[in-house]
Amino acid sequence: MANLQPSRRRLLAGLGAAGTAALLSGCVTSTSSGKSSSKGDVTLQSNLSAPQAKTAMEDIVAAYGKKGSRHASLNTVAAETFRTQLPTYLTSANPPDVYTWYPGSVANAYARKNLLLDLDEVWNSSPDLKRYSKAQNRLCTSSAGKKVFVPATYYWWGMFYRKSHFAKWGVRELPKSWDDFLDLCDKLKSKGVAPIGLGAGGNTPWVASAWFDYLDIRINGAQYHRELLAGKHRFDDPEVRKVFDRWQEVLPYFDPNGVAIPFQDATTALLNGHTGMMLIGTFFADAAPKSALDDIDFFRFPIVDSKVPLAEEAPVDGYFASARTGRREQVLDLMSYLATAEAQETYIKGSSGTVLPCNPDAKDAGTALVKKGRAHVDSAAEITQFFNRDSSDALQPTADTALTKFLAKPKSIGSILTDWQRDAEKIWNA
Amino acid sequence: MAVLTAPHPKPPVPTPSRGGRARSPRRTPPLVLAFVLIPLLAESVWVFWPALQGFYLALTKWDGVSAPQFIGLDNFREMAHDDVFRSAAVHTVLWLVLFGGLSALLGLAAALLLQQERRGVGFYRAALFLPVVFSLVATALVWQAIYQPDGVLDQLLASVGLDSLRHAWLADQDTALYAVIVPALWRQIGYVMVLYLAGLKGIDPALYEAAKVDGAGAWQRFRHVTLPQLRSVNAVVLSVIVIDSLRSFDVVWSLTRGGPYHSSELLSTYMYSTAFQSLRLGYGSALAVVIFVLAFGVIASYLVRAFREAD
């Protein structure tokens, strides 16, 4: 045993040295200037971890690498991890450079804390971005008037159904007004079908927020809705109460399993004809079998008050960059590439193809559904994003609690709204 | 690197004690010191220091982005009026009693049943221990399929004519908490069983023989021989159960995320959602401190009592 001692000692010395080195390097990082290295590839941190979307992002990065001397490296992180880690990434001393994320109030919250790179230069120099719509411009501008976001794609929400099922149930006309909608619900119910699927169970309670968003923008308008989510109105105001009064009218038509199953299962129920229709975004089509895709159609969420300007939910996805990046020039170069029609078409080709490009010159997938979706969004006077995007991820759990409680106990709406306001105040004051 | 100085050229050979107390070594060998100090150093950097920071964060308001703002005990004051915290605390106690109590009882029962070496007993032991091996998240997915509307459980109920009991088990606030305890129990029982099996093996058979000679029945042997002999194992089981109860998170989070509307919320899930979903990291840290104090309090008070009794 004795002759083993020296080697054991050496091992310990090695361990000790390694530990000290780790400690020292930790100290160095924490006191560094807060700039990442200006050498090497620009890093693109992506939350698009679904197989098709991930491949599409790899295609973009590969195409960018082939284009010129500059390269990007893609780092795909699971969506939930990405969301919880994003503040850490942005505040770290050595952050990834570019991130996939959302514009509007979500980006603005980070911009106000000086964590996002000013992209004015890209917006002023890129011939592509100059042609982007005014709405896109506004959405990508922070409250301080700086451009902080480059949009890439968007999708839309609507009442989705299967054409063949509606034909079988004898539905000839699609509803436009709230009364038409209630008639349709009656008709579907008489056929033994649960008229409205939901999917707010499991890990997707946020789906219920779509109903809140739509009823609010149909009754109180998009402007009021955005102000409400920004804390300028109260959730226990009579205007919000009106939203739930309407919602109560359709509650009997909701699938009783709506709060027990996640939206993926609710989608299956819709495709199998157990439910008649569903308010959902086009992302649900990612999991639909190809054979069913041609049979899927949608109609506009019914008009409740014709005096309220028409608004639709059309969440935009795209990119922002860390203000602490050490590769500013490379980041700006990559950003201007991501805004091109080529990059966005590459993404659409590689992914399921149900999203629309933000670049007005880029071609979409060209299917009938996508064409109809584009017209649907274009005809809206106002665009909203979604509950968490128009407010914050932090406010979403308060909505999940309030809305699932309302679905289970619609009569206690008074106390539900009081509690919602109290919970929301904690977030706004945080 | 004082720990790496040259060792004693010839380590002293301990003289065998002759009935008296063993002589304590003159000084601790540097190698032993190193084995203690290096892990301690690593532990203090990766565990103790972040834990201490957690205590400090509990006194701040922090969104994870801006600098933390010191607010003293405000987080704890808020907790006193927080209904969700109160219900999460009640659920945690309920969880501790039901999950902890049942897993100890059923684990002990399983160990007693399977302690004797009979043909095929190894199979049953392995079968009971198997759930421990699965990841809890995978376990949760399987149980989600069992509980979902028209899932295995509902179909089973329908097939035996209990249609009226069919239920959205995880989506009903009256059943969600109990529904999530079952998979947690299913997993824990095998673990507790193994601990008790080890304890039972350590009991001297002569004690049972003596008890039998004295005319003790099966229950009396269990009550007066087995139970007292298992005291040291009980301390381990209790520690494991309390710690596992307070850190029970994955199964609840995977199945219900503490919902519907906080009806299956535990302190651990509330801490996670407050910190990482609502981005109130100061309040989340305060909740973590409460969980720590509870775990530490329960275990320390039990251990102190157990040691006092042992003396």
* Tens of pLDDT, residues A211-224: 999 999 999 999 99
What are the CA-CA distances from residue B134 to residues A122, A141, B18, B245, B292 (Å)? 50, 48, 51, 18, 27
pLDDT at A6: 41
Q: In the predicted model, what is the mean pLDDT of chain B?
A: 85
DSSP string across B41-88: HHHIIIIIHHHHHHHHHTTEE--SSS--EE-TTHHHHHHHT-HHHHHH
**Is pLDDT above 90 for B149?**
no
Strands B60-61 and B69-70: antiparallel
Question: Of A90, A260, A397, which is closest to B171 when you measure between CB atoms?
Answer: A260
Residue B214 has pLDDT above 80, yes or no: yes
What are φ and ψ of residue A74, in 5° steps? -95, 135
pLDDT computed for residue A87 by the predictor: 87
Map tokens 């922070």 to a residue. A142
Residues of B in contact with A194 (CB under 8 A): none
Are the C-beta atoms of residues B169 and B153 closer than 8 Å to each other? yes
Residue A287 has pLDDT above 80, yes or no: no
Say if residue A275's pLDDT is above 90: yes
For residue range A391-416, list pLDDT tens digits in order: 988 899 999 999 999 998 999 999 99
Q: What is the pLDDT of residues A79-132, one digit of tens each?
A: 878 888 898 899 888 899 999 999 988 999 899 999 999 999 999 999 999 988
Q: What is the reported pLDDT for A264?
A: 85
Whether omega before A262 lies within 30 degrees of 0, making that bond cis, reads no
Mean pLDDT for the stretch of residues A290-294 = 79
Residues A124-183 pLDDT 10s: 999 999 988 888 888 899 999 999 999 999 999 999 999 999 999 999 999 999 999 999
Cβ contact, residue pair A394, B279, below 8 Å: yes
Q: Kindly report which listed range (A398-412, B175-189, B297-311) carries the lowest average pLDDT score.
A: B297-311
* pLDDT of A68 over the 70 cut: yes
Of A13, A265, A398, the CB nearest to B4: A13
Most A-contacting residue of B32, B60, B65, B173 (CB-CB within 10 A), to test interface: B65
CB pair distance less than 8 Å for A427 and B278: yes
Residue B25 has what pLDDT? 56
For residues A373 and A381, give the distance between their C-alpha atoms in angstroms, rounded to a whole number: 15
Chain B residue numbers touching A8 (CB-CB < 8 A): 31
A98: tokens are 């570019």
| pLDDT above 70 (res B10) | no
| Residue in B34, B171, B276 nearest the CB of A259 | B171
Cβ-based burial of A28 (10 A; exposed 0-12, middle 13-18, buried ≥19): exposed
pLDDT at B5: 43
Across the interface, whether the CB atoms of A393 and B276 are under 8 A apart is answered no
Sheet strands (E) in A252-294 = 275-281
> Where is average pLDDT lowest: A230-234, A248-252, A390-394, A417-421?
A390-394
Q: And the tokens for B154?
A: 């509902």
pLDDT score at A138: 87
Mean pLDDT of B38-63: 91
Q: How far is Cα B238 from Cα A282, in angstroms, rounded to an integer?
A: 51
Q: Do the Cβ atoms of A282 and A303 come closer than 8 Å?
A: no
Residues near A325 by beta carbon (within 8 Å), at least 6 away in sequence: A35, A36, A42, A95, A97, A117, A331
For the cut 50, the answer to whether the pLDDT of residue A194 exceeds it is yes
Would you call A113 and B168 a contact, using CB atoms and an 8 Å cutoff?
no
Q: What is the mean pLDDT of chain A?
A: 87
Q: Which residue of A has its CA nearest to B283?
A: A430
Distance from CA of A367 to the nearest CA of B (A): 35
Q: List CB contacts (< 8 A) between B38 and chain A.
A: 12, 15-16, 19
**pLDDT band at residue B238 using 50, 70 and 90 as cut-offs:** confident
Interface of A with B (CB under 8 A): 5, 8-9, 12-13, 15-16, 19, 23, 26, 84, 87-88, 90-91, 110, 113, 115, 201-203, 205, 256-257, 259-261, 265, 392-394, 396-398, 400-401, 404-405, 408, 426-427, 430
First CA to last CA distance, chain A: 61
Return the minimum-mean-pLDDT range out of B159-173, B226-240, B294-308.
B294-308
Phi-psi region of A311 (alpha: psi -120 to 50; beta: other; left: phi over 0): beta
Nearest neighbour of A401 by CB, restricted to B4, B261, B276:
B261
What would the DSSP string read from start to end of A105-133? HHHHHHHHTT-B---HHHHHH-HHHHTS-
Q: How many CB atoms lie within 10 A of CB A64?
A: 23
Cβ atoms of A300 and A158 within 8 Å: the answer is yes
Interface contacts (A, B; CB < 8 Å): 97
DSSP, collapsed to helix, strand or coil, labels residue B198 as helix
Looking at A300-314, B15-29, B253-267, which range is the least confident one? B15-29
Residues pairing with A116 in the sheet? A322
CA contacts within 13 A on the Cβ side of A73: 7
Of A178 and B168, which is predicted with more confidence?
A: A178
Structure pTM?
A: 0.80
Average of per-residue pLDDT across B94-104: 92
pLDDT single digits (tens) A337-391: 999 999 999 999 888 778 899 998 999 988 888 999 999 998 898 889 999 999 9
Beta bridge partners of A73: A43
**d(C-alpha B194, C-alpha B126), whole Å:** 10
Q: Please give the average per-residue pLDDT across A28-40, as a whole number.
A: 48
